[in-house]
Structure 1
Amino acid sequence: MTDMPKLRSRAWFDNPENIDMTALYLERYLNFGLSLEELRSGKPIIGIAQTGSDLSPCNRHHLVLAERLREGIREAGGIALEFPVHPIQETGKRPTAGLDRNLAYLALVEVLYGYPLDGVVLTIGCDKTTPACLMAAATVNIPAIALSVGPMLNGWHKGERTGSGTIVWKARELLATGA
């Protein structure tokens, strides 16, 4: 049988060469509700990079998905820690959300590098969150699963279901007919 690889998180929670910092990290995460046994168990700590928020409706359904991911990580024997990714919403940001991809990337690199994560699940779904998250995981060289959850959820307008772009095409057709 092969030896299990050494987990990054062990440097935070089980480092005999740096007892003072280990004690500090343990104290902080014990306050979070994790037990000493969990933190020193050798279970992998898996981050959930959450791109959903009320500011970015295209990824809002990731909020529900993250809870299911958390349960799955626990069932598989890991410890799940969810954290937010800088929100990106192309149609709601002025003047443009173009630079937000780079900001999200930089912030995610800092989280992945600076916290005791052994791997990460990236919730992605648009042309900004996808490259930001993938580039960050590649930069830090951390094991990652990119979970693309598809298009944003549909909404309703005047009793009609509308999706991404649907209402624009219908309005264009109406305008062309002179309505």
Structure 2
Amino acid sequence: MSDAPVRVAVIIGSTREGRAGEAVARWLVSRARRRDDLEVDVVDLADFDLPARYLCAVTPDVAAFTGRVDAADAFVVVTPEYNHSFPASLKQAIDYAYDEWQAKPIGFVAYGHGSGGLYVIEHLRTVCTELHMVVVRGRVNLDLLDGDIEADGPARDAEAMLDQLRWWGLALRDARAARPYVS
């Protein structure tokens, strides 16, 4: 068993110009980096040129993205809610990896107007479960019209989610080391 920091990939799921995702991710990353039990890697989908169609050969950007996913012990997806679901850029990125996601925990920071991202999280739970990921109960929902990201509620929610990611990240890292995951 290893108590080395859990490697958490914070994935910014929107590639839209003018997105709020970068600011929301910075807020979460600043909280996560205060802890010595987590090692954070920001994976911004806007930094990767993922092909719109699946090619026979793996491109360098696809290899770089899936390599970052493979290296992580846990994930946090920072995503907007678009029409009660998640952006196409995030679905495309999720689908480029498969084995790299398996037997790893994931949490969500969702933002939007009105629902605060509740619907996007429900859609992502289904997709991530199909990929054999462990979805943690803790989550952060942000209504960008209503709230202050620095308020006590989002901060408490973020800490609870990070605590759960650490617990599951350690447990599943040890389990993967002890025996290969069977999908």
**For the superposition of Structure 1 and Structure 2, which TM-score range results when normalised by the shorter chain?**
0.3 to 0.5
Q: Could you say which structure has the greater relative contact order, defined with CA pairs below 8 angstroms and 6 or more residues apart?
A: 2
Work out which of the two has the higher radius of gyration on C-alpha atoms and give 1 or 2: 1
**TM-score normalised by structure 1 residue count:** 0.41
**TM-score normalised by structure 2 residue count:** 0.40
